[in-house]
A and B are shown apart, each in its own frame.
Chain A
Amino acid sequence: AQSVSQHNHHVILSEAASLELGCNYSYGGTVNLFWYVQYPGQHLQLLLKYFSGDPLVKGIKGFEAEFIKSKFSFNLRKPSVQWSDTAEYFCAVNSGGYQKVTFGTGTKLQVIP
């Protein structure tokens, strides 16, 4: 069964600091990878996704993630965070087709002005 690990549960950064949130998954076959974000008081929404092709994917609001197949990782990055990036971030994976999506436990990011 597929599983997703997010190593950082709570991250506190100052504005303009660089961000990297770790995500590792366990499934060995073809995967689709996602990062979702939940801003305070808002719905979960898609930040970015990887299906195939260029392993470096860019999402909304300056976020990007790199798929490293050999490391089973899909880390989220942003070069300079803003206070408005304060949110909870979830990594998710599915093994394609109509297979279910498995979510990680989430990382709460707090950006201090």
Chain B
Amino acid sequence: EAGVAQSPRYKIIEKRQSVAFWCNPISGHATLYWYQQILGQGPKLLIQFQNNGVVDDSQLPKDRFSAERLKGVDSTLKIQPAKLEDSAVYLCASSPLSYEQYFGPGTRLTVT
């Protein structure tokens, strides 16, 4: 079974620039999550999708972050404009239910 795919793996941008991350979940998994993991901390949920719909986006900084899940499959997370404090690893995970999650390799973002 193919795992969760994410791209790019690494990204370096300057502050105030925009960036987008892509995630392809495991086939058939209805739930998709985006997490932000800052160095030394645990993953923090940014947004959770159930098929096409948003279940939880309470911790998503909506003034600069946006996410969509097209046709209930792939998802993109965008940051515009980026700030220095957005430097982190962005993890995508998927789940057949809202329980056991399967994580992708993450995208390491550095904002300079």
Contacts and interface: CB of A to CB of B under 8 A. Distances in A.
Interface of A: 4, 6, 32, 34, 36, 43-46, 49, 51, 90, 92, 94, 97-106
Contacts of A97: 98
B98 A43 contact: no
Interface string B1-41: 00110000000000000000000000000010101000011
A99 to B, nearest CB: 7
A90 B106 CA distance: 16
B103 A51 contact: no
A4 B45 CA distance: 14
Interface residues of B, number: 26
A11 B56 CA distance: 34
Interface of B: 3-4, 31, 33, 35, 40-45, 48, 50, 55-56, 91, 93, 98-106
B40 A44 contact: no
A49 B41 CA distance: 21
Nearest to B105: A43
B104 A43 contact: yes
Interface SS, A side: strand
Contact of B43 (A49, A51, A90, A94): A90
Nearest to B50: A98
9 contacts: A43-B105, A43-B106, A49-B99, A90-B42, A98-B50, A101-B98, A102-B45, A103-B43, A105-B41
B103 A45 contact: yes
A65 to B, nearest CB: 15
A104 B4 CA distance: 22
Contacts of A44: 43, 91, 93, 103
Contact of B45 (A49, A101, A104, A106): A101
A94 B98 contact: yes
